[in-house]
Chain A
């Protein structure tokens, strides 16, 4: 079928997944090269598609009478951008995995799930209607559940997987309701009522309003925004390449991207403010927890929540431009940082505590790439992160002065906080190791496999050069047919304020962590620490919610049980009564005669009186 051309991108990965299942017993280690090869083929197809220019393709999946349900794909500008990011990062992740995951027995399971995960994200990237989107959406949720709970012997990993899937199911149901509600409102014979472009062209109704709120909830669950933040932090229980993939280009980016595509509808319905509100709350939460967290990967996870929240804020101001700029550059620096974290953990023998990690300077490649990543996240000129940050800061406009000031203040606070936590994250593992560990750590760092060092170098090149995107962005965005502003007027104020705050953060982090001025800081400021490290409160809120549902369920169960017992009891009662009556019918003539006489007397009495 020629109209399926675009789906070709996902085919190699699905095929690789199949191979991984079939190869189980005999050639376990060959699986990784099959997967890597498939991902490179996908990348080549994606690049070819990019050169062909935008095109929409549609095929009827099934139909009921005249009503057809289509799978529609597009390679419009935004979609192509996401597809290239995903297709580009996938081979790097797979390369990194070769060095990272050494257990032979788990190879096929790992690559099966990873291939489907990557394929799902590519399908998501090219989807132009809700059906294609929903297929990808659910596959992303399921595979991420499996990958987060990949270490099946770890209770924490399994619990994290369950937390993720439970949160994601809420989003899935919201999404399903939204898309079917839209269909039942706008569907007509022959039209592809799931198509985004079609929906954008329709008049707004109450049903559309409800559906779009549900889509926003679904996007918040996928992108781990308040109040659905916690699954993403727990997801760090998965293997590190999974985290790198999950946080850079797949899964969590899906929510932001979907909102970016559907932004004209939100603008029409005046719903943009919800992204600003929830974005600001999530960004502050993420930054606070990242400052207080000790787990080397969870710091980065909270940082991702914050980055995504910044994108939502930009979208809330109608600036697809700013959101997408951060979207692109964040993919590279976050993948890089996760790979660094994985390497540091590997060298420190899977130590997860930031303060238990040492000696990251022993490996020069690791050191340089990590520093580039951290500087980019903080937003230092001319690394790509800088452009992302100022694009977000400059998006704030159009609200009453008070609100603008508040949001702007929040954004500046986040600039400072993110600089502080990322340099904390950088400086602490750089410390000199204790004497008894020096030799061991040097060996570990020097013997890190090449496959774990080459992908970060490539990513670092993108991080350094990625700032160029800022200058291409107007060209890229010109192809996006949206009412939202295409250009961004970057104010000088943003640039200076941002740079100054980042440098302050750098200085503070250097004083506190590299120079060790922090000794006893958390003990002295317990209240501050508790306020910053508030993930426990959110988890308690989840517990409260689930136990409320459980209480209702228990009440219903008691009702069900006693109703059943009552009905069974009634039945037993009938049996008892019949047992009593049956005793009369015992075949003895004298009993019958007595009965006959009593009856006769009764009859006579009745008729006589």
Chain B
């Protein structure tokens, strides 16, 4: 009997969530931190054991409806391990940093652990049935995260979020059912489907592709289905935004990666999808330039980065594939850092409009420099994880699309320039500086440190994860 690492991780996250409900609020954060730290420790131990051999493959199965061949089929490989690791790091950082708004701590920690459960489940799921279940758990958890923990306009934002996401879920379900009925032996198993997808009639494949593409594109998000994102991110609590942008958007990206590697017809759609994704990146970058709310600025940069990741997925070559995965890792960690920084800045100054907040560096030095380092991460400066991602992504994109593959970098160029503009306006110029109304807690600094550590770790030693890749 091999150590059941995925099952145990899922169990730990679920039990932590339930314990938080049952026990006193005093323990809630402790449990959340301990739970996610335990999962992170297990994943890192798995990495330590498997890195020397260069292969990581874990499969576990807990059948429950044997008649339909449905069960908790879980597996981890280099790709899904990377994503699970990212989700766990973000969840740990969110729990560790605590909620700068200091409101409803019990609910927040419970939702974090439930979301960690959903994220681990979705990345590890080996069949589409549980993939869908975990998907919906994640969406519903984040709905509550926005709806009950968010700021003033949270009800509007959470309703918008859930309507878009339910539309996506129904599309996803439709796609999954279609796949189930058109595979030779009706099956939800992803590996089996990948092996036998060629036998699905071409016309049906097209329908499945379009339906599931729409589902994942809403979640990712991609122009013109991105409208839920800025509102949801702006209104969610700081921890909510970290999970939302750091992990939830990766559900869609991972789904698209699955879709492109599963259906043979995907090659036919590669170029239109890449064009749409590149357009989405540049479009979102331009919209970013008109924002004043720093949290909204960060929210829009998510669309830019996810567009670039989709270009890599559509490249349909190893560099694109692993570049997209590394991009998701880098983006998840970096954007969580950015949202944490902006949340703390809002907490310290009571305001996050770049026209009003001035001279952050004078009153909150670590916050200002973390924002600067996060900007380096987003723009892909070497030694941050974002650089490795950019290298892999754009090699893949240019191998597939020639020099046109580099065009989405215009989006990155624009948000880079704009983020330095924000830094100049609000962070580094101290000739006038806003009054601080609160201090930054130690736990928030620990949160910065954790995310920065992993951002630089995966930027300086990329072979930690790329060593697992077998081509």
Contacts and interface: CB of A to CB of B under 8 A. Distances in A.
Given A169-B420, A557-B287, 13 more contacts: A63-B466, A65-B469, A67-B319, A138-B381, A152-B430, A155-B429, A169-B416, A173-B413, A176-B390, A184-B399, A553-B289, A557-B290, A564-B227
A187 B424 CA distance: 39
The residue among B402, B414, B420, B469 with the most chain A CB atoms within 10 A of its own CB is B420
B424 A142 contact: no
14 contacts: A64-B471, A135-B382, A142-B381, A152-B362, A159-B424, A161-B424, A162-B421, A166-B417, A173-B416, A177-B403, A184-B398, A184-B405, A207-B403, A549-B289
A149 B368 CA distance: 14
Given A142-B376, A184-B399, A165 B289 contact: no
Contacts of B428: 149, 152, 158, 161
Given A180-B391, A553-B290, A556-B283, A66 B471 contact: yes
Interface of A, secondary structure class, is helix
A155 B412 CA distance: 26
A180 B361 CA distance: 36
Given A173-B412, A184-B398, A552-B286, A65 B470 contact: yes
B156 to A, nearest CB: 9
Contact of A553 (B287, B399, B463): B287
B388 interface: yes
A149 B427 CA distance: 12
A21 to B, nearest CB: 10
A64 B466 contact: yes
A550 B289 contact: yes
Given A138-B382, A155-B431, A571-B163, A64 B392 contact: yes
A557 B376 contact: no
B469 A567 contact: no
Interface string A287-325: 000000000000000000000000000000000000000
Interface string B219-260: 000001001000000000000000000000000000000000
A564 B416 CA distance: 25
B379 interface: yes
A560 interface: yes
A181 interface: yes
B137 interface: no
Interface in B375-400: 376, 379-383, 388, 390-392, 394-395, 398-399
Interface string A24-66: 0000000000000000000000000000000000000111111
A356 to B, nearest CB: 23
B227 A62 contact: no
B382 A169 contact: no
A458 interface: no
A69 interface: yes
B394 A177 contact: yes
A187 B396 CA distance: 11
B322 interface: yes
A165 B380 CA distance: 14
A472 to B, nearest CB: 35
Interface in B189-215: none
Given A62-B463, A173-B412, A180-B406, A69 B391 contact: yes
Interface in B409-446: 409, 412-414, 416-417, 420-421, 423-424, 428-431
B434 to A, nearest CB: 14
Nearest to B376: A142
Nearest to A556: B286
A561 to B, nearest CB: 9
A348 to B, nearest CB: 24
Interface residues of A, number: 50
A211 to B, nearest CB: 9
B317 to A, nearest CB: 10
Interface of A: 61-67, 69, 134-135, 138-139, 142, 145, 149, 152-155, 158-159, 161-162, 165-166, 169-170, 173, 176-177, 180-181, 183-184, 187, 207, 210, 549-550, 552-554, 556-557, 560, 563-564, 567-568, 571
A62 B466 contact: yes
A64 B286 contact: no
A65 B471 contact: yes
Contacts of A549: 289, 414
A207 B401 CA distance: 12
A63 B382 contact: no
Interface string B254-287: 0000000000000000000000000000010011
A181 B400 CA distance: 11
B224 A180 contact: no
A307 B361 CA distance: 37
B142 to A, nearest CB: 20
A62 B398 CA distance: 20
A210 B403 CA distance: 9
Nearest to A546: B417
In the A-B complex, the 10 residue pairs with the closest CB atoms: A65-B471, A184-B398, A557-B290, A553-B289, A62-B462, A135-B382, A553-B286, A556-B286, A177-B406, A158-B429
Residue in B163, B403, B421 whose Cβ sees the most chain A Cβ within 10 Å: B403
B395 A184 contact: yes
A166 B413 CA distance: 9
Contact of A165 (B391, B402, B420, B463): B420
Given A153-B430, A180-B395, A134 B382 contact: yes
Nearest to B416: A169
A165 B418 CA distance: 11
B318 interface: yes
Interface string B156-198: 0000100100000000000000000000000000000000000
A61 B227 CA distance: 40
B255 to A, nearest CB: 23
A15 to B, nearest CB: 16
Contacts of B470: 65
A238 B137 CA distance: 53
A308 B402 CA distance: 34
Contacts of A170: 413
Contacts of A176: 380, 390, 394, 409
B391 A152 contact: no
Contact of A166 (B287, B399, B420): B420
A64 B289 contact: no
B101 to A, nearest CB: 26
Contact of B424 (A162, A554, A557, A568): A162
Contacts of B394: 176-177, 180
Contacts of A159: 424
A62 B424 contact: no
A34 to B, nearest CB: 21
B398 A554 contact: no
B91 to A, nearest CB: 26
B370 to A, nearest CB: 14
A549 B289 CA distance: 9
A567 to B, nearest CB: 6
B286 A557 contact: yes
A381 B399 CA distance: 55
B390 A65 contact: no
Contacts of A154: 431
Contacts of B362: 152
A190 to B, nearest CB: 13
B47 to A, nearest CB: 15
A102 to B, nearest CB: 19
A564 B156 CA distance: 13
A286 B412 CA distance: 32
A154 B359 CA distance: 12
A134 B381 CA distance: 9
B373 to A, nearest CB: 10
A391 B286 CA distance: 48
A170 B379 CA distance: 12
B408 to A, nearest CB: 11
B395 A187 contact: yes
A183 B417 CA distance: 26
Contacts of B390: 176
B358 to A, nearest CB: 11
